[in-house]
Structure 1
Amino acid sequence: MHTYPDLPPSGSRRRPRKAVRAVVAVTAVAAVAVGGAWAAGLGPFAGESGPDPDAVAEAHAFLADWSAGRLPDAAARTTRPDRAEEVLRSFTAGLDIEKPVLTAGKPEEDEESDGHAVTVPFTARMPVTGLGTWAYAAELPLRERGGEWKVDWRLSVVHPRLSGTEKFRLEREEAEPVRADDRDGRALSVAEHPSLGPVLAQLARGRGGGPRGAVQLVDRVTGEVRRTEAAFGSTDVREDDGPLRTTLDARWQAAAERALKRSGGRNTALVALRVDDGEILAVANSPATGFNRAVSGTYAPGSTWKIVTSSALLLKGAVAPDDVVDCPRYLTVGKRFQNVETSAHPGATFRKAFTESCNTAFIGLRGKLGDSELGDVAKEYFGVGQTWHVGVPSYDGSVPVPRDATEKAASMIGQGRVQANPLIMASVTATAVSGTFHQPALVAGTEDTTETRALPPGVVSQLRTLLRATVTEGTARALAPLAGEVGGKTGTAEVSDDQENNGWMVAHRDGVAVACVVEEGVTGGGSAGPVLHALLSAAPRS
């Protein structure tokens, strides 16, 4: 049993009102944490009647720090730093919460405050270790004092029902893990495949077994339960009907577990799935316990997303592989964008821009796509953003319509508010080389409510050529020594000023698509490349 500690309530403070400051344009940067993320674009605010963008920026920065576990930094953005840090830390540790996903909503200005009070609503998705995700809505009150905006600290900032008289308590009830076999009837166990721990626990819940628990609101003095805020697991336990047959392949899973050791001890996740039907062959996470970041994580996919961007451009004939595109070192669209290692490729073709992952070239083509077009292509052809029924809880991606020119530029290269994970990017790769989206699945017979269209054969042929060229002559050369027709794409995804970039790589060979992210791996080729090389070197070939 875990208990949120007794902490007295904090009172709100009023500050002297000052004149409303001039409105400025603010650009957001996505901040991605372990298995979770905050991402919200601020965009330009027009007119002096709306919320002060400095207030909104402070709210978004608070959410970014909280989600990334930078609790002292988050607390410093409040009116009560010492107390805020204590509460945030106790809330996280006491309820076994891993990195939360915090999404800001539309800010509102207090009409009676003369611009000195702003409220920013947000949604919270709190992953409770080994149980599931607790979701709720809350609000950030902000006030201006001495020309500086701060989150007006109170317990309800963390949760609207947290107060001086009521707190939260986590109750757990452990259960036997599900017995599971791979696609060929081989037994799967956590002892042999450690990173299947979270997956098998999730599959057990689907059968009415596995761990169960609840987050309860209780009286601080008596401990009396006032209400259950979130319940995890099922009380309807089925009769034992034998091992659960999964789509996993024990040989691929073993190879994936070994490959993770090439990540240098960083948090890493990968997925391997079949191109022709989406069946998942391996899911691996390091560390093995806790959050299933490979399936439920939320990350900026970086330049691996250029597969989708290229598809959108090729679908409408906006560019051809041999067209010359501009690839300067820098390009400014509200903020300065640059290529990895500030490289430049004068006179580059689109093929060269893809294989060398030229950010500025892709951003320079943003005018070829409508504001919603990238998201539309992701959803209609790749199934991203639709609801997937994988067999375990999954995050199925998000490609919001950009709020301003800067965010549109960022989305072209898999940044801004574009969110994915290894499951999504393995599926994107499979769709690109086959032309048809297949909902990924861990068990046969899962419900499929997705509706997608097939990519034209000409576009598929161009994508295959681009992916192959990236291995033979581009940034995915780490895979070049492998036998067979291997195609791939690297990605380097910015996280925040305080963290190194995440490294990505996707690849396909012999009808299998794979994707890997290495948190703070700096570059995709340097961090995810060795992992996928080790995986494809050891995995069975058809």
Structure 2
Amino acid sequence: MGTRRRIAEHKKGGPLVIGGLIAVVGVGGAFAGYSLVGGGAAADDGASARSVHKTVKTGPPSASEVRATAAAFLTAWQRGDVTKAAAATDDSAAATQALTGYRKDAYITGVTLTSGKPSGTTVPFSVKATVSYQGKSKPLSYATRLTVVRRAKDGVPLVRWQPTVVHPDLTDGDRLVTGDAGTPPVKALDRDGGELTTDKYPSLGTVLDGLREKYGRTAGGKAGIELRIVRKAATKGTQKTPDKTLLTLSEGTPGTLRTTLSPALQAKAEQEVGSKDKASVVVMRPSTGEILAVANSDHGFNVAFQGSLAPGSTMKIVTSTLLFEKNLASADKPHPCPKYVTYGGWKFQNDNKFEIKNGTFKTSFAISCNTAFISQAQKLQNDDLTKVAQQIYGLSMNDWAIGVPSFDGAVPVMSDAQMAASLIGQGGVRMNPLNMASVVSTAKTGVFHQPYLVSPSVDNRTPAKAARTMSASTQAQLKEVLQYTAEAGTAAKAMAGLGPDYGAKTGSAEVDGQKQPNGWFTAWKGDLAAAGVVQAGGHGGDSAGPIVAALLRAGS
């Protein structure tokens, strides 16, 4: 059978063959014989009965233990023996609930599981089954994986329970449900009237799900019958991830909904993020707030709209606004950029410990001098940055309504070293590409326009508003330092040839346990703005910069 092992229905008394392992199955369905190949729960139990001095095994499960444990779990699941399958996991209660719901709530029957070649303690497997509901049936197939771990107290190998064992798109608190969809489907259109589909634009899966969830009942459609993932409720301060349709048993009648997406820029965004791992980008129009493109190289969680990441030095746009307003910096005046600055017990430094002697603030901004910002912390109140982010940039108020779930940034009030770190986009500050595209748009126009994917006129919702606008002097200086960064600073390589009506800021955000920082880049060109992040991509000018610049060129 090669490297593939079929876990099939067994005739009475016949052996189950899994990757060369013969497991004798008795009338009651109990497993025996694993001790013949040197491992597994049965072998451990037998040894325990013979001797009270058994040494508890430690370390990763052996290859034979991995095979035997996976076989026990998958065979029991396939047979519909929920109790036995759950007992083969390290969380029998959660496994029982999920596997019971698999049959009773999702109406999935005729399950056939085929395991692949293990990789260490991980075993991939495919699922083929049938979904049957009210006389309608359709085949279901997908691939997922399980991991075998050793229980610390007795050394027994078990399947580590996690929702992805049942389906790769499940997360904690999600449920598989088959029935009337409740929410009618939506035919989403781009700004030119073309249909938006995941076949054309793979990144739009979560966006289309979100559009359906919000507008399905008002767009004029009729619900069908579906197998779908019903997502867990949102926590305070967040928006619920949209439910996801996995299989349609009966087609509903879709309603029609027009979005602001540009087909050309969306296609280009998909292409650009596809060339890198963990890349996300958003393109918008500064003068209106219209979102023209959104793409993620990972088509699961929508980092571009819902991500919550430290933005690194791109946050210096907001911090510069604060410093200009308080007359703590001026674009063309001298400004300190030492090698080190200590604040709140932390010692801050610049990349490669550089310093600028007798330089201006514009120069410090252009080459992203951290200490130029940290040096001003002692002159600031703990809530100053939060106020500017909220009042001028519309951030961190949890009131954006773009048409689908989104996160509108977090700039919490911090103190001591964390307050200083927030000035350079670390500490407690969290953003995503949508937020940073909005930030550079506000810097360019001087006015916050809440980004949106669906026109507010469709459902008469009220977009978020900023409490005030920045002064003309502040905006002029912001544009000056951003243009200089695009022309001669860390963004110059990526932005070459896009001037003169342009501006940009790079960023690198350190992440604990990550070898390379997240690379950020945000920029405008004319009436286009974009921001991107490449997680673990290194310097933003080299990782996210080319993605953003390519989209600005394509839209010009």
**TM-score, normalised via structure 1 length:** 0.65
Find out whether 1:490 has 2:500 as its counterpart: no
* 1:412 shift after superposition: 0.5
Change (3 A) 1:490 1:177: farther
SS of 2:198's equivalent in the other structure is: coil
Give the equivalent residue in structure 2 for 1:378: 389
The answer (yes or no) to whether the contact 2:231–2:243 under 8 Å persists in 1 is no
Distance 2:434 2:91 in 1: 42
1:332 pairs with 334, 342, 345, which one?
Answer: 342
Find out whether 1:250 has 2:263 as its counterpart: yes
* 1:8 shift after superposition: 6.6
The answer (yes or no) to whether the contact 1:503–1:524 under 8 Å persists in 2 is yes
1:474 pairs with 470, 489, 499, which one?
Answer: 489
Find out whether 1:301 has 2:311 as its counterpart: yes
Find out whether 1:535 has 2:551 as its counterpart: yes
- Indicate the RMSD between aligned Cα atoms, in angstroms: 3.6
SS of 1:309's equivalent in the other structure is: helix
Q: What amino acid is the match of 2:302?
A: N
Q: Which has the larger radius of gyration?
A: 2
Gap runs ≥5 in structure 2: 1-76, 93-146, 217-222, 233-239
Q: Report how many aligned residue pairs link the two structures.
A: 392
Per-residue Cα deviation, 1:278-318 (whole angstroms, up to 9, x for no partner): 1100001102x211110001100000000000011111222
* 1:482 shift after superposition: 2.4
Q: Which moved more, 1:503-512 or 1:477-486?
A: 477-486
Distance 1:284 1:215 in 2: 22
2:287 pairs with 257, 276, 279, which one?
Answer: 276
The answer (yes or no) to whether the contact 1:313–1:368 under 8 Å persists in 2 is no
Give the equivalent residue in structure 2 for 1:444: 455
Change (3 A) 1:80 1:469: farther
Give the equivalent residue in structure 2 for 1:158: none
Find out whether 1:178 has 2:186 as its counterpart: yes
Find out whether 1:322 has 2:338 as its counterpart: no
* 1:172 shift after superposition: 6.2
Distance 2:421 2:165 in 1: 37
* 1:335 shift after superposition: 2.7
Distance 1:456 1:419 in 2: 25
The answer (yes or no) to whether the contact 2:367–2:489 under 8 Å persists in 1 is yes
Change (3 A) 1:317 1:232: closer
Q: What amino acid is the match of 2:208?
A: L
Distance 1:357 1:486 in 2: 18
Q: What amino acid is the match of 2:352?
A: E
Distance 1:330 1:82 in 2: 52
Give the equivalent residue in structure 2 for 1:90: 161
Alignment of 1:336-351 (within 5 A): 336-351=347-362
Q: Identity of aligned pairs, percent?
A: 41
The answer (yes or no) to whether the contact 2:499–2:525 under 8 Å persists in 1 is no
Change (3 A) 1:239 1:170: closer
Find out whether 1:259 has 2:272 as its counterpart: yes
Distance 2:378 2:429 in 1: 18
Q: What amino acid is the match of 1:531?
A: I
Alignment of 1:104-503 (within 5 A): 128=170, 170-171=176-177, 178-208=186-216, 212-214=228-230, 233=243, 240=253, 242-262=255-275, 265-287=276-298, 289-333=299-343, 334-386=345-397, 387-402=399-414, 404-445=415-456, 447-448=461-462, 450-452=464-466, 453-477=468-492, 478-503=494-519
Change (3 A) 1:81 1:251: farther
**TM-score, normalised via structure 2 length:** 0.64
Gap runs ≥5 in structure 1: 11-70, 99-127, 135-167, 217-229
Change (3 A) 1:382 1:174: farther
* 1:170 shift after superposition: 4.3
The answer (yes or no) to whether the contact 1:423–1:515 under 8 Å persists in 2 is yes
Q: What amino acid is the match of 2:349?
A: Q
Q: What amino acid is the match of 1:399?
A: V
* 1:234 shift after superposition: 11
